[in-house]
Amino acid sequence: MHAAARTIGGVAVGSVGLGAMPLSVEGRPDEDQAMATIHAALDAGVRLIDTADSYHWHAGEVGHNERLIARALAAYGRGSEEVLVATKGGRGRPGDGSWTVNGDPRHLRRAAEASAARLGVEAIGLYQLHKPDPAVPFADSVGALRDLADAGTIRMAGLSNVDREQIGIAQEILGPYLVSVQNRFSPAHQSTRDTLDLCTELGLAFLPWSPLGGISLSAVDDPGTGAPTPDSPFHALARARGVSPQQVCLAWHLARSPVVVPIPGARRPASIRDSAAAAGLTLSAEEVAGLCL
């Protein structure tokens, strides 16, 4: 089962994206290493970079990750125009490690305009509602994305951390503007499998965040709990194939559905080079079956 090139809303993005959050949150590398990591991703063929205005560490740093990506793309030069930058709005970080949610349509419209300015684009390629706000009717938040698309501030819209019912509501409001769903999904977190199945049925791109859960810790995991096991079927197959467990895990994602585009995080160039190589790892049907937990 070879991973064919993937698309989001008709835009070619390759098979594996880059989750850029670790480059700006707690434990982030210095800017030189962060820039080198983004450039290594582009050199490896990555054409999807996932970010959000809330990907920062300290208070007063809103948009840190977006600004970093804009600088990296500008420095990379030729070929950077082929990259789809997917950003998100609707969450905040006060600077104490916590996360907030704000799905007010007025906030989302302002946030998208600010994100476009930080990214240096007239229209954001893919803009995603970061998380439904329980204090705001979901349809109202999604309606703000429709307004942004109609106004030309964003080209495509997506959802994150949503269920099947919310996907259906958003599809009615957004129509063809809705192109993607970004939910947590990994060997260790498969409770959103029903949303992956729905995206496959509808032809929406499914972007699993923290896709290596159970294989590697991510930027959202507590390093003191839930340490990955070194003796899973993924590790056994990796040893047999002479590749990393992370590559096997990403190839497993790609084999599940043609709409899947995993977005593993990375803090080092070597990490994203290894992840991107999963696009060339062919798993047999028997191997895939052996990894189904």
- The residues carrying an active-site annotation are 55
Spell out the residues 6+ positions from residue 132 whose beta carbon is closer than 8 angstroms to its own: 101, 103, 138, 141, 161, 162, 166
Q: Check if the beta carbon of residue 260 is closer than 8 Å to that of residue 157.
A: no
Q: Check if the beta carbon of residue 235 is closer than 8 Å to that of residue 252.
A: no
Residue 73 Cα distances to 6, 35, 37, 49, angstroms: 21, 9, 12, 11
Please give the Cα distance from 120 to 132 (Å, whole number).
27
DSSP bridge partners of 128: 88, 158
| Token reading at 2 | 């070879």
Q: Check if the beta carbon of residue 24 is closer than 8 Å to that of residue 65.
A: yes
| Token reading at 136 | 């705001």
Distance, first Cα to last Cα, the chain: 18
CA-atom Rg of the chain in angstroms: 18
Among residues 105, 104, 99, the alpha carbon closest in space to that of 53 is found at: 99
| DSSP per residue, 133-148 | -TTS-HHHHHHHHHHH
Q: Check if the beta carbon of residue 97 is closer than 8 Å to that of residue 57.
A: no
Please give the Cα distance from 177 to 156 (Å, whole number).
5
| Token reading at 56 | 């920062």
Phi and psi, residue 13, nearest 5° = -130, 5
